[in-house]
Amino acid sequence: MRSDRVRLIVSLILLVAAIVAMLLPGGRQAKGLARLFSRIKLGLDLSGGVRLEYKVDIEKGVENPAAVVDDVWTVLRNRLDSAGYTEAVVKKSFRENNSFIIIEIPDATDTTKAEKLVGSTGLLWFGQAIDERDYDPTVNPDDVNLALREGAQWYADKNGKKWYLIKKEINNRKDLVLVGPRVVEAVPTIDQKGVANYVVSFTLDRQFVELFKNITKELYVPEQVLNAGTTQYQLALKKRLAIVLDDKVQFVGFVVSPIEDGRGQIRGNFTFDEAKELAAILRSGALPARLEKTTASLVSPTLGKDVLQQSLNAGIIGMILVMVYMIAFYGIMGIVAAIGIIYALIIIFGFLAGTGAILTLPGIAGIIFTIGTLVDGNVIIYERIKEEIRAGKTPKAAIEVAFSRSFWTLFDANLTTIIAALFLYYFGTGTIKGFAITTIVGIFAAMFMNLVFSKFLLDAMAGAIRVRKAGGAQ
Amino acid sequence: MKIDFVGKRYYFIALSIVLIVVSLISIFTKGFNVGLEFIGGSELVVKTSENYTVADIRSKIASIGPEFKKARVIEVHAIGQAEEKTFSIVVSPKDEKGALRTYKAEEKGQIAAKVEELLKGKVVSFNEVSGDAADEIKNLTWKAVVFTLLGILVYVALRFKFAFGVGAVLALVHDVIITAGFYSIFGVEMNIAAIAALLTLVGYSVNDTIIVFDRIREFGRKYKGKDMANIVNDSINSVIIRTINTSLTTFFTIFMLLLFTTGSIKSFAFGMTIGVVVGTYSSIFIASPIVIRWVKSI
């Protein structure tokens, strides 16, 4: 039949797409069959790790709360990066007029370190950079001695690639120490000098203006000096301003004019993103808002593995039971259902691998529940086929009638489950969303399997059904 | 072979009423073993190879702090974990004003270290939910429940005549109360996963009812003038195999989940397992027989 050929082709295309989605490179390291699932992203409840959620406590009357949350995000991102948590994911989330920051650290086995990073107030200070190295000078005796002689300390930059020798006391003047300045405004702006670069314009709080003026006067290096020759330049290199956050150097540069009014510009060939980041760091040496821990969870990778194994066992045994039962009860048609289960599962896993949806433990529960309900459609259709055959129709005709009559029953039956899953997705928090996702995907995979994939298999096997029935009648 | 479901309906209705009353009594007197997400606080999951009982754990951890004296300790069972015992310890740390608080970073490290030392085990999970977060989760969960129920009511109202709608809704209420009752009676944790199970159950259970009702409508048109009780009984008999088969296949998978898993997902599997059984029972024995009373014509 032509329509069956169309069904076969569509089913095969979907199958190939799903398998390709599962086998594309870029997944986790895995061997054997596990490779099939290596591209499916696992939730922290399965892979193990730390998830922290904080409510961003924004003071009333703040003009642009979203900007505050952005700043918090940048500060936390920097802190996590500089502490080596480059795998960590920091997300912003908005619910019910509240803003949240979510931090997820895969494979972490303890929350204390991460929570401390978030909890620390963060210290921003301005200092004087007098030297720099491209290697780690803290293990080089000469450099260590140099630091001791100068009364300065080596600090790594935020990427850990460069080290600067920095003094907190500008030109050794005890009255010129600027720690924890309040920056009232800092924004990335386009360089006025016509270069297609960004600069960071900032404004200090009034109480720091005088101090900053004196510091910039001390460090001031006229631009012509910079171009005057090597000796002069070498001297100027010892008079650079350094911006340090949490003991990581964020910026080092020359002061090309004294800043009298607390309004300065930092120029450094920044891209927009770099300028934005530096602006956020200036604005928020201390976090711009209080963070209140709302939920924290730690799942050790071993527990996650155990839980994954348990649920996989449950799923596999459950699936085998369903297959055996279907084949025992429906014979040939049961085999179609058993193949259908595998088909639908490949589609579901292909969808997860292809879209990057995160598979959580409730998500697996959703898939296991789906295995049980996948064949509901088959049962409904098969019972109808049996009825029609009993009523005297040929298997071919019975299959046609059963499919056309069962479509709306299946649609109805699945609609109610979709309603429940959709609201769970919308209002659900955390991992339960994973359940809603796999349930909904599972329902669509099941309907496709029931109505399209099974149809041509059944049609192809209709002969076998008839032979048995006819034999019984003779 | 034809079974007289309709003739025996009063027995089944009586059985259901007993189950509902028992459930309601348990829900209102014993209440639920409410999960961390809804009450807030901290939960430590500890694995130990020592052969401790729940009472041992309680007495050992009491010294850690005032909140540990009132800790809720549950042993977590799962198939295939014979060598190690797993315990869940739930505590509600309070601040000076008596309000629920979360632990500070250093405090958490110290508590985990102490628990590991006292129980000679390993803390495999440490979860915290603040009071505010618990309130928010409760609020959102209520919304999910209310909207799902409304959605299904609207669907039922559009789909069926009034009498069938009443039957479907009564069957749903029946299923939810009894399943919730089982949570209360067996002290299974009522957490978000459990709510997900109840909502999925609502969506799922209505399906079975729809299948029976559709058949009643079909037979009603076919055999116009026949006694309604007979039509309903014939309809139930003609769909019973498919109702049992669809439920049984679901039962197989969800029951395995109940047997093999631990923690919050066990709560989900528990509700689904009970719910599938109760839902199937109600679609066959409760939903259809009660519509006879109201339906005069199809």
pLDDT at A471: 32
Alpha-carbon gap, residue A335 to A77, rounded angstroms: 53
Contact map slice: B 38-57 vs A, CB within 8 A:
45, 47
pLDDT at A218: 83
Element (H, E) at A445: helix A432-448
Most B CBs within 10 Å: which of A112, A299, A322, as the mutation test of the B interface? A112
User: Counting runs of H as helices and runs of E as strands, what totals does chain B give?
Assistant: 11, 6
pLDDT at B234 over 80: yes
> What is the rounded average pLDDT of the residues B261-284?
91
> What is the rounded average pLDDT of the residues B131-158?
88
Residue of A nearest to B136 (CA): A96
Q: Return phi, psi of residue A271, to 5°.
A: -80, 170
A337 and B CB contact within 8 Å: no
Among B128, B199, B246, whose Cβ lies nearest the Cβ of A424?
Answer: B199
Q: Of A100-109, A146-155, B71-80, B276-285, which range is least confident?
A: B71-80
HEC letters along B88-131: EEEECCECCCCCECCCCHHHHHHHHHHHHHHHCEEEEEEEEECH
CB pair distance less than 8 Å for B192 and A55? no
CB pair distance less than 8 Å for A293 and B269? no
> What is the rounded average pLDDT of the residues B246-269?
90
Among A326, A368, A419, whose Cβ lies nearest the Cβ of B253?
Answer: A368
CB A461 within 8 A of CB A336: yes
Alpha-carbon gap, residue A78 to A85, rounded angstroms: 10
Residue of A nearest to B105 (CA): A112
B98 and A CB contact within 8 Å: no
- Burial environment of residue A16 by CB neighbours within 10 A (0 to 12, 13 to 18, 19 or more): exposed
pLDDT at B86: 87
Global pTM reads: 0.78
CB B95 within 8 A of CB B66: no
pLDDT at A364: 92
**Residue A84 token pair:** 């080596």
pLDDT at B119: 87
CB pair distance less than 8 Å for A432 and B269? no
pLDDT at B278: 95
B108 and A CB contact within 8 Å: yes
B137 and A CB contact within 8 Å: yes
pLDDT at A194: 61
Alpha-carbon gap, residue B46 to B88, rounded angstroms: 6
Most B CBs within 10 Å: which of A118, A345, A424, A438, as the mutation test of the B interface? A424
Per-10-residue mean pLDDT, chain A, length 474: 79 89 77 74 87 83 76 78 78 83 85 77 79 87 86 84 87 80 78 73 83 86 77 82 82 83 81 78 66 87 86 93 93 91 94 89 92 88 87 86 85 85 86 88 91 87 57 30
Alpha-carbon gap, residue B50 to B112, rounded angstroms: 17
Tens of pLDDT, residues A18-27: 888 888 877 7
CB A321 within 8 A of CB A299: no
Tens of pLDDT, residues A256-289: 788 888 888 887 778 887 787 777 777 655 566 7
Q: Please tell me the distance in Å from A239's CA to the nearest CA on chain B.
A: 40
CB pair distance less than 8 Å for A300 and B245? no
Position B199, amino acid: L
B150 and A CB contact within 8 Å: no
Tell me the three state secondary structure of residue A429. coil
Percentage of residues in chain B having pLDDT higher than 70: 96
B207 and A CB contact within 8 Å: yes
Look at A361 and B161; give whichever has higher pLDDT. Answer: A361
Alpha-carbon gap, residue B286 to A391, rounded angstroms: 29
B130 and A CB contact within 8 Å: yes
A293 and B CB contact within 8 Å: yes
Q: Please tell me the distance in Å from A113's CA to the nearest CA on chain B.
A: 7
Look at A100 and B98; give whichever has higher pLDDT. Answer: A100
pLDDT at A286: 57
Give the sign of the dihedral formed by CA A377, CA A368, CA A103, CA A429. positive
CB pair distance less than 8 Å for A112 and B268? no
Strands A263-270 and A248-253: unpaired
> What is the rounded average pLDDT of the residues B1-24?
87
Residue of B nearest to A424 (CA): B144
Alpha-carbon gap, residue B92 to B45, rounded angstroms: 15
A188 and B CB contact within 8 Å: no
CB B46 within 8 A of CB B89: yes
Size of interface A-B (CB pairs under 8 A): 235
B138 and A CB contact within 8 Å: no
pLDDT at B73 over 60: yes
pLDDT at B298: 47
Q: Please tell me the distance in Å from A389's CA to the nearest CA on chain B.
A: 15
CB A263 within 8 A of CB A201: yes
pLDDT at A77: 81
Residues of A in contact with B203 (CB under 8 A): 416-421
Most B CBs within 10 Å: which of A324, A423, A450, as the mutation test of the B interface? A423
A55 and B CB contact within 8 Å: yes
- Burial environment of residue A150 by CB neighbours within 10 A (0 to 12, 13 to 18, 19 or more): middle
Among A96, A303, A379, whose Cβ lies nearest the Cβ of B242?
Answer: A379
A300 and B CB contact within 8 Å: yes
CB pair distance less than 8 Å for B132 and A307? no
Among B109, B124, B199, whose Cβ lies nearest the Cβ of A303?
Answer: B124
Tens of pLDDT, residues B207-218: 888 888 888 888
User: What value of ipTM does the predicted structure carry?
Assistant: 0.89
Shortest CA distance to A85 belongs to which of A107, A100, A101, A53? A107
Residue of B nearest to A373 (CA): B250
- Burial environment of residue A270 by CB neighbours within 10 A (0 to 12, 13 to 18, 19 or more): buried
**Residue B266 token pair:** 């066990």
Strands B189-190 and B33-34: parallel
pLDDT at B82: 63
A317 and B CB contact within 8 Å: yes
> What is the rounded average pLDDT of the residues B254-259?
93
Residues of B in contact with A385 (CB under 8 A): none
Angle, in degrees to the nearest 10, between helices A454-473 and A332-355 = 170
Residues of A in contact with B152 (CB under 8 A): 416, 419-420
Among A113, A311, A424, whose Cβ lies nearest the Cβ of B144?
Answer: A424
| DSSP character at residue A270 | E
Shortest CA distance to A403 belongs to which of A12, A2, A3, A13? A3
CB pair distance less than 8 Å for A424 and B268? no
Those residues with Cβ within 8 angstroms of residue A422's Cβ, 6 or more apart along the chain or in another chain: A436, A440
CB pair distance less than 8 Å for B200 and A294? no
